[in-house]
Amino acid sequence: MSDRPPRRARNDVRQYDDLVDHWWRTDGAFAALHWLAESRAALVPAPPAGGGRLLDVACGGGLLAPHLDPRWQHVGIDLVSSGLRLAALHGVLPVQGDAALLPFADAVFDVVVAGEVLEHVVDLDTVVAEVCRVLAPEGTVVVDTIAATRWARVSMVTVAERLPGGPPRRCHDPALFVDPHRLQRIFGEHGVRLKVRGLRPDPLAYARFALTRRGRVSMRPTRSLSSVYQGVGEKTATH
């Protein structure tokens, strides 16, 4: 498959079919998603005794899988079937569906992860409500997304889409970027107190990657919520 996919409208999910061969390439169009998946997994708690159920919303090609404790039953939901087929090869139980209408009963997952998806959804309130609905009381939610700031529009669209390891061209619609305080408020309405922190790539590791297209790039926490940020929270027992 060519490294230059057809030109799509911003936020068009068909781009993931165009780039399916890139999912597991650490030097490809989804390189940064590998770095974020590792950072995201670090916030996932140990599974309950005997194992637990984890839902990976918008799982893509299953990049979270190698970083999880194998005792988790890892269920992945995504709109795009080509990514789900790859995820299944990495031990993910694939379900094709929409994050705004999750095909699961209430309170059936110990952990719900929604990584690099909230900045792509049109109805954020509905998606957050669904995430919280399927999460068991005292369960954990882990998210990462992009802030609705001028700096994020510049850094994640104007600049990052042209850098090694950055997102594919036209991947994001900055009109859908998510204000962190708004996200905290919506989760709070559903019984989850979300703690947030910013993320940035380790500058030296990224410089090496930019020059060689090789090597692991760790994501470092930062106080700034102006670009990529991460959140973790627990659902109250009474919700």
The structural domain count of the chain equals 1
Give Cβ neighbours of residue 217 (< 8 Å, ≥ 6 apart): 31, 32, 35, 165, 201, 202, 205, 206, 209
Residue type, 28: G
CATH number at residue 54: 3.40.50.150
Residue 109 included in any domain = yes
> Could you read off the pLDDT of 99-135 as tens digits, one per residue?
999 999 999 999 999 999 999 999 999 999 999 999 9
Residue 204 included in any domain = yes
Residue 100 included in any domain = yes
Which tokens in the block code for residue 231?
A: 């959140």
Residue 8 included in any domain = no
What's the pTM value of the predicted model, to 2 decimals? 0.91
Residue 171 pLDDT > 90, yes or no? no
For tokens 């990657």, name the residue.
Answer: 209
The domain of 31 spans 14-234
Residue 98 included in any domain = yes
Residue 47 included in any domain = yes
Residue 3 included in any domain = no
Residue 5 pLDDT > 70, yes or no? no
Residue 5 included in any domain = no
Helix (H, G, I), strand (E, B) or coil at 106: coil
Share in percent of the chain as helix, strand, coil (round to 5)? 35, 25, 40
> Could you read off the pLDDT of 20-45 as tens digits, one per residue?
999 999 988 889 999 999 999 999 99
